[in-house]
Amino acid sequence: MPDLNPTQYAVPLFVIAVLAEMIWAKLRAPEAYEPKDTLVSLSFGLGSTVAGALLGGFAVSLMLFAYEWRVVDFGPEWWAVWWAWPLCFVLDDLKYYWVHRAGHRIRWMWAAHVNHHSSQHYNLSTALRQTWTGPFTFGVLFAIPLVLLGFHPVMIAICGGFNLIYQFWIHTEAIKRMPGWFEAVMNTPSHHRVHHATNPRYLDTNYAGVFIVWDKLFGTFTPEVDDEKIRYGIVKQLGSFNLLWSVFHEWIGMIGDIWSAPWKHKLSYLLREPGWSHDGSRETSDMIRAKWLARQDAVAPPATSVADQNRIAGTQEAA
Amino acid sequence: MNLLIQTIGSLAAILALAGLAWWLKLGGTPRLASEADVSRAANEVEDGFCPVATVCDADGTAAIARDAGGRIMIIRRHGNRFAGRVLGPAASARFDGARLIVDPGEARFGAVALDLADAQAWAGAINRVSDTDDA
């Protein structure tokens, strides 16, 4: 059985790439980095590794348990079935799309994922801003169908590791656009900047990990527009560099809301989208976008098509 | 043991990279110096927030904005970006010498100290927000 943790081997590459991007920032965009923000982001990365090692046992056990009920058996040397690897990688990326989408649309999942978005910067250090509390969500359930299909949990973990490594390089403003064919199929810095933006037009879009085609397929794709500056972070910016607050703030907020809500609404604060409130006192991303769209409609110029401008027959009867 | 060695190595790399960002003087210190600056920052804090009155702190690190609906927003520099809050019932304003201290009532966001012209009027307006909401 392969004993490989791809992200572990990629760490030196991550360090060199961050170093290179800092030099680029020094020359071209010094505002792209902020030392305290960088320190918090990198600490998230380290804490995530430790938390995964300490808390990941339950997820591994559950997947190994489910593997006993697999539909297809790749045999005792499953790692030697070469075609299973690319197939697993693609299906794992599809799984990533859905777990990521849930991470934005279900507050319980968002409580763990918000960490990745709470920086107001977008650089390679942001990519390492990974969750510490993922094991406290039900994210592992999204992998169970793959296990039941017959993919060994180790194969899924290795594919997931390469998926994570791919996503590292797209967290940058240093690359504007990739070639057209690449932008059409793959997740890119441009597509992922959109995902990290708080501009209303971009909220809750581009959930892809490696292949942007999933967003196009499931109706969540939004292209980056060149004439609007992107604002990064979360709708209600933290305004704090406190690491522990950054890790746990949404959990604390969610538990507080569940505690104080009327009984019939408690579950909604766990399972509905971030920003939902039973008294309408807060805004979800859909509400923010709807208000923004209404403002756009209010300031949009009247229709100026040729037909509208030349209504010479407007009051005449047809011949 | 392996995890411990990795953790120590990673910690050293983290401190080195953050130190490098500091040494390269990355980041900068943007200022809120004009009505346009405050309007831009306010719209970043809450999309669509359109100030009709603004005031900037003397050193440009913070500002207050009020929209046509009477809502008041406090904005302060956070690293080399800005963060802010629309003030609600928990907010309060008080003076520490000549400086106005605006507390949005959110411990982790913290109180913001401002050196303002017309600070008395802004303090009154902020305290009326919480009084109105309390009523």
A130 three-class SS: coil
- Residues spanned by the domain of A71: 6-218
Evaluate whether residue B16 is within a structural domain.
no
Average pLDDT over residues B50-76: 96
Instruction: Determine the residue of chain B that is closest to A41 in CA distance.
Output: B14
- Model ipTM over 0.85: yes
A9, A21, A38: best mutation site toward chain B, by most B Cβ within 10 Å?
A38
Question: Containing H/E element for A110?
Answer: helix A107-113
Q: In the numeric block, which tokens belong to residue B60?
A: 């440009």
Which CATH number belongs to the domain containing residue B115 in this structure?
A: 2.30.29
With 80 as the cut, is the pLDDT of residue B130 above it?
A: no
Average pLDDT taken over every residue of chain A: 93
Of A30, A245, A288, the CB nearest to B27: A30
At residue A8 the predicted structure's pLDDT band, cuts being 50, 70 and 90, is confident
Give the model's pLDDT for residue B6.
81
- Report yes or no on B49 lying in a domain: yes
Domain extent for B103: 35-134
Question: In the numeric block, which tokens belong to residue A221?
Answer: 């794709």
At B7 the pLDDT is 83
Give the residue from A14, A36, A289 with the most B CB atoms within 10 Å of its CB, the best one to mutate: A36
DSSP label at residue B38:
H
| pLDDT at res. A302 | 59
Residue B26 and residue A30: Cβ atoms within 8 Å? yes
The structure's pTM equals 0.92
pLDDT for residue B10: 86
- Is residue B47 assigned to a domain? yes
Residue A4 vs residue B28, higher pLDDT: B28
Report the candidate in A217, A164, A143 with the shortest Cα–Cα distance to residue A49: A164
Classify strands B62-67 and B51-56 as parallel, antiparallel or unpaired. Answer: antiparallel
Q: Is A43–B108 a contact, with Cβ atoms under 8 angstroms apart?
A: no
User: Closest-CA residue in chain B for A244?
Assistant: B108
The residue in chain B having the minimum alpha-carbon distance to the alpha carbon of residue A13 is B13
Whether residue A61 is contained in a domain is answered as: yes
Residue A237 and residue B80: Cβ atoms within 8 Å?
no
How many domains in chain B?
1
- Is A134 a domain residue? yes
Inter-chain residue contact A239 with B11, CB threshold 8 Å: no
Candidates B46, B67, B78, partner chain A, best to mutate (most A CBs within 10 A) = B78
The reply to whether A204 falls in a domain is: yes
In a domain, A300, yes or no: no
What does the pLDDT average to over B89-96?
Answer: 94
Select from A133, A237, A224, A116 the least CA-distant residue to A177: A224
Query: How many structural domains is chain A composed of?
Result: 1
Neighbours of B81 (CB within 10 A): 21
Nearest CB neighbour to B14, from listed A42, A121, A241: A42
Q: Nearest by CB to A31, from B6, B10, B80: name it.
A: B80
